[in-house]
Structure 1
Amino acid sequence: MIDKDRIYAEPQTQVSDFVFDEQVARVFPDMIKRSVPGYPTVMESTGLIAGQYATPGSLIYDLGCSLGAATQAIRRHVRADGCRVIAVDNASAMVERCREYLSAQDAMIEELLPVEVLQADILALRLQPCSVVVLNFTLQFIAPELRLGLLRQIYESLLPGGVLILSEKLEFADSFTGSELQRLHYAFKRANGYSELEIAQKRTAIERVMLPDTLDTHRLRLQDAGFAQVVPWFQCFNFCSLIGFK
């Protein structure tokens, strides 16, 4: 039974900055599915893409893994021999529940890739050589001045032919495009049962901690980090997913 997200359902005198605490971890599967257009498609496709580029005996990283949805998809799709996944998140509540979800997956499916779940700051993590890195809806929570350094480290860690799978909410230089896609995003939330109060309070909570970039900014930064080819493979309203190829 998945708990329903009602964190912002009642009026709050002062809306605090959004944090990935136990309250969020408890309702996160419901929250993310009702808040991010195309989220189930992005997660399952992340596993499919990883399955195409993971090389035998290599590591796969899921950075900012939250509850491990991408890791679970990777384990369903990767067939290369000897691969293993390292899933990393800095929030203890998310890591604890991630381990529970992966243990449940182990109980249902045999011969899955081994996974190590780490509680760590991905900016301080020394990445080992790997064939696939997943960075889904994580970069937007990192200080803008630190993003290029992280991407450069990821590029240097990737084996020849390796890929970075990156998903983010987008900002838009064109005000008309930005406002219309934001309007559609809010319509998506309403269609999924969120009230105007919930939408407004969540926006207040997250706007100081989540700082999205434009698609052009992402593309240029990825190229600056070393990725010669950057391919957008999915967009739904103001959310987009890219592959960076080494």
Structure 2
Amino acid sequence: MLPNSEPINSNLPDEQRDKVFSEEITKVSDFKFGAKVAGVFDDMVSRSVPFYGEMQRMISEIAADHAQKRTNVYDLGCSTGTTMIGMNTTVDNDIRFVGIDESSQMLEKCDEKLKEAGFTRPYELVAENMHEGFKVENASVVVLCLTLQFIRPIAREKVLKTIVEGLVPGGVLILVEKILAEESLFNRNFIKYYYEMKRRNHYSEMEIAQKREALENVLIPYKLSENILMLRESGFSHCEVFFKWYNFSGVVAIKN
């Protein structure tokens, strides 16, 4: 095992630290983005997603180069608003933001964070289940950051086609996903490296195991090549990988 570092977010108040799976659970239920998760989500993703801060910076940079005046920027699965806050500092002034999330608790936390951050653009937060349909209109940038993986596979192509239809010409989708290795031979090692990262960020073996069980039927990853093929088949003409770390990747896709 690699040596542990200092805990990420070690200065956070105790109530904002991720302890969702810190106590033994007799029967682990499917993972849900409810009030308990919303309250600690920022700590959870920063400790559970490799290079999360850098990933957010990259999303903001890409969005800045593709956001078009008098259009909308969408964050689908906006959670607590971290991505929107980052893009607010980089994109053109004449932009409106739309955040969509199924969890009302996440949207409440998002609205609170946007106001605390002094968010400068007009924005709308919409509670919608993307499985049941949603709208994307006059968009130049759409972000799916660790969101598509939670959409049932049978519905993913429909979600992507909705995005394509709502993008203006030259608009982009920024997709970040947990993925499977192209060759199954590497999957076990990549997962091992990922769990080592979690241990370095001070998650216990019980926390890792219980969260893995909770996500088993909820988070269904694809291979990177499968995601790119799905993007092209949905109507995106250009796709490029901008981030890759073992079993996580980021792709930017452009609509002609």
TM-score band, normalised by shorter chain = over 0.9
Aligned residue among 246, 251, 255 for 1:237: 246
CA displacement at 1:202 relative to structure 2: 0.5
Aligned residue among 126, 130, 142 for 1:122: 130
Q: Is 1:30 aligned to 2:43, yes or no?
A: yes
The CA RMSD over aligned residues, in Å, is 1.1
Q: Is 1:143 aligned to 2:152, yes or no?
A: yes
CA displacement at 1:50 relative to structure 2: 0.7
* 1:50-69 map, 5 Å: 50-69=63-82
* 1:10-49 map, 5 Å: 10-49=23-62
Q: Is 1:181 aligned to 2:218, yes or no?
A: no
Q: Does the 8 Å contact 2:135/2:166 carry over to 1? A: no
Secondary structure, counterpart of 2:98 in structure 1? strand
Measure, in 2, the Cα distance between the counterparts of 1:131 and 1:121.
Answer: 22
Q: Does the 8 Å contact 1:37/1:237 carry over to 2? A: no
CA displacement at 1:223 relative to structure 2: 0.4
CA displacement at 1:81 relative to structure 2: 3.7
Deviations along 1:35-65, one digit per CA (max 9) or x if unpaired, are: 1111111112111111110011111100000
Q: Is 1:222 aligned to 2:217, yes or no?
A: no
Measure, in 1, the Cα distance between the counterparts of 2:182 and 2:56.
Answer: 27
Deviations along 1:87-111, one digit per CA (max 9) or x if unpaired, are: 11010110110000001011xx6xx
Secondary structure, counterpart of 1:86 in structure 2? strand
Match of 2:99 in 1: 87
Q: What percent of counterpart residues are identical?
A: 38
Match of 2:108 in 1: 96
Q: Does the 8 Å contact 1:56/1:82 carry over to 2? A: yes
CA displacement at 1:120 relative to structure 2: 1.3
- Using the size of structure 1 for normalisation, the TM-score is 0.95
AA aligned to 1:89 is D
Matched residue count = 241
Q: Does the 8 Å contact 2:93/2:121 carry over to 1? A: no
Q: Is 1:105 aligned to 2:117, yes or no?
A: yes
Measure, in 1, the Cα distance between the counterparts of 2:223 and 2:122.
Answer: 36
Structure 2's unaligned 5+ residue stretches are: 1-11
Measure, in 1, the Cα distance between the counterparts of 2:137 and 2:114.
Answer: 22
Aligned residue among 76, 86, 89 for 2:89: 76
AA aligned to 1:91 is S
CA displacement at 1:176 relative to structure 2: 2.3
Deviations along 1:125-161, one digit per CA (max 9) or x if unpaired, are: 1221210000111101111011001101111211111
Measure, in 2, the Cα distance between the counterparts of 1:18 and 1:161.
Answer: 36
Measure, in 2, the Cα distance between the counterparts of 1:16 and 1:44.
Answer: 33
Structure 1's unaligned 5+ residue stretches are: none
Measure, in 2, the Cα distance between the counterparts of 1:13 and 1:241.
Answer: 36
Measure, in 1, the Cα distance between the counterparts of 2:57 and 2:128.
Answer: 25
Measure, in 1, the Cα distance between the counterparts of 2:25 and 2:94.
Answer: 50
Aligned residue among 125, 129, 132 for 2:141: 132
Deviations along 1:181-229, one digit per CA (max 9) or x if unpaired, are: 1111000000000011110000000111000000111010000001111
Secondary structure, counterpart of 2:68 in structure 1? coil
CA displacement at 1:173 relative to structure 2: 4.0
